[in-house]
Copies of this chain bind each other. A is one copy, B any other.
């Protein structure tokens, strides 16, 4: 008959694995010769190869035992189920391969395609890479907060970009990263923004219910303020004119303007 290493080699497993199967009762302990060595017959070979076939399919050993000790119809059902899982796993790995390819190509993978397309459109308009990166990080955070509605939010941004004034605004903002602190062009930016805001309010496009949490809106705004000295000046100018916010624009009633000051 066979020694344990012959058995193991033929079935393509290690000796250690065979002994493990004995301990957990998956493979019955065979007879021993007079020196205590295990000696195996063909039945053991068949069982071990069946065990490996199922285990290679990713079936836990406890389930392998159930299946091998069950009737033929239970076994067939189990095998069918395993095959389905195997098929799903193959597709998962294929999917992982394509994600890996995107990762190698330099994509961040942290954003849905719609946002990536939007950032590419900005890039196409000549917006600087530094500015795009700031936008990207903001979008990553937004997508993390409201993954379900990110596509519709982006759709709105695309519509906004159809307006040449908005395109102009972006190209100014992009360049603004290098402006001196008191650059007068910031007023031009404020003018464009105000025109855009007025138009948006008139078209009834300003809805506070975009699904993004208030605190989070404040946070994005303050991140923006920290990113550039111009941002604070810009917000101040707009606030004088009765507007508040950046991420989400609000009209501030004139009479409240003097009493309500920003907390910080």
> What separation, in Å, do the CA atoms of A10 and B144 have in the docked complex?
5
Please report the C-alpha to C-alpha distance between residue A47 and residue B260 in the assembled complex, in whole angstroms.
40
| List of B residues within 8 angstroms of A43 by Cβ | 137
8 Å CB interface, A189-207 against B: none
Contact check, A42 vs B100: say whether CB atoms are below 8 A apart: no
Question: Can you list 25 A-B pairs with a CB-CB distance of less than 8 A?
Answer: A1-B141, A1-B219, A2-B141, A7-B144, A10-B144, A10-B147, A42-B110, A42-B136, A42-B137, A43-B137, A46-B109, A46-B140, A49-B108, A49-B110, A54-B100, A56-B96, A56-B99, A57-B96, A57-B97, A75-B104, A76-B104, A86-B93, A90-B90, A90-B97, A93-B93
Decide if A241 is an interface residue (CB 8 Å cutoff).
no
CB-CB under 8 A from A140, the residues of chain B are: 42, 45-46
Closest B-chain residue to A103, C-beta based?
Answer: B53
Q: Which of A23-31, A77-85, A230-238 contacts B (4 or more CB under 8 A)?
A: A77-85
Q: Is the CB of B96 within 8 A of A145?
A: no
- A155 CB contacts on chain B under 8 angstroms: none
Closest B-chain residue to A77, C-beta based? B104
CB-based contact A86/B76 at 8 Å: no
User: Is A63 part of the contact surface with B, judged by Cβ < 8 Å?
Assistant: no
Closest to A102 in B: B53
Taking the full assembly, how many copies of this chain does it contain? 2
**Docked complex Cα distance between A92 and B101 (Å):** 21
Q: Give bound CA distance, A57 to B99, whole Å.
A: 9
Counting chain A residues whose Cβ lies within 8 A of the other chain, the interface size class is 35 or more
CA distance A147 to B6 in the complex (A): 11
Is A138 in contact with chain B by the CB < 8 A criterion? yes
A92 neighbours in B (Cβ, 8 Å): 56
Chain B residues with Cβ under 8 A from A108's Cβ? Answer: 46, 49-50
- Say whether A117 faces chain B, with CB atoms less than 8 Å apart: no
**Residue A160 at the chain B interface, CB threshold 8 Å:** no
- Complex Cα distance A41/B220, Å? 11
CA distance A237 to B141 in the complex (A): 90
Q: Convert A113-150 into 0s and 1s, putting 1 for each residue whose CB lies closer than 8 angstroms to a CB of B.
A: 00000000000000000000000111011011101000
Q: Is A94 an interface residue (CB 8 A)?
A: yes
Within 8 Å CB of A76, what residues of B?
104
